A and B are shown apart, each in its own frame.
Chain A
């Protein structure tokens, strides 16, 4: 999921790839509110997942964000 997340953030949200590392905070990774909006919309379009911008923004790190999305994909949350 981490790679897919990176793919959305770079290709669709237009973020530079280098700062998007697993342990980076969202702010350090450059994931601003516009990127979170794009991510939320892409998750809905690609996977039928409904994660609000607030839910996504609360993830402390990029890895935690990927885990949050993965958990929704498998229905563990």
Chain B
């Protein structure tokens, strides 16, 4: 018999203040404001100053999520990121320390842009197993640290930011409770989104690898195809596992990969655009921060209301994908 359910009791987000427009990027790229806006749906993204790290963004989002939940302590902090402050140690313990959490369990989860949904699944497992009663789940990224400003495939796409939720032990079936997860990976396409250098695999090339190998490389068309296929299937599986049908979904929260991918997933699922909130125009693809940022923004704007049946799905490097469901809970005010 399963243990307690994981219930969303708070949501928060944080964006670094500096806005980067398409025109600013296009001074170095063979692209245009019009193409970026019309084809990938992005008008601007945020960039953290060099002194601001993923841990700093995570800290602010975490504080706000805790304020939203009205709590001052958690048992565990799970941080999803593709851009940790260091290879070693994990970023989460330092964030937990700065939050004043004494001896809290804190660790990072790496699943690319699907990381936040993976981290939520891990947190729900901790709660269900009785290992924690209250868990902070954070998605935070400083994508600007791994983006080549001269790469037109990635530079316009990615932005920096952070989002977080508080999950607490509750009853299965109550509003805010995370439903079953549909998730998986396909490592045969590990090189579809990859930073070639800087890790153990390329340690013999540490001094000889070209500078570009320390940035993220992405085979866009292949990623597009797999993102749409995998997210559509995971979404269907999560909805079925929840005992819902797709036409009962009030809001689709799809990873803000690019505007066209989100639209294609919604189209494949038959979910109309008005039920698919989006913030990619303002923040770009914020990788593991994308889902909690969109939850916070949609809740704040009233596009996500208590009682809405919400389908959440994400996809990223790995390749990895994950989906879940929840009924948006009453009494949760997003802290932006």
Contact = CB atoms under 8 A, between A and B. Distances in A.
Interface of A: 12-14, 16, 32-34, 36-38, 40-41, 45, 53
Interface of B: 38-40, 220-221, 224-225, 228-229, 259-260, 263-264, 267-268
Contact of A14 (B39, B221, B225, B228): B39
A45 B225 CA distance: 12
B260 A13 contact: yes
Given A12-B264, A13-B260, A38-B264, A32 B39 contact: yes
* Consensus secondary structure, chain B interface: helix
A53 B221 contact: yes
A45 B221 CA distance: 17
B260 A41 contact: no
A37 B221 contact: yes
Contacts of A33: 220-221
Given A12-B267, A13-B260, A41-B228, A34 B220 contact: yes
Contact of B260 (A34, A36, A40, A53): A34
A16 to B, nearest CB: 8
A62 B39 CA distance: 19
3 A-B pairs with least C-beta separation: A37-B221, A37-B224, A33-B221
A60 to B, nearest CB: 20
B80 to A, nearest CB: 27
A12 B259 CA distance: 12
Contacts of A37: 221, 224-225
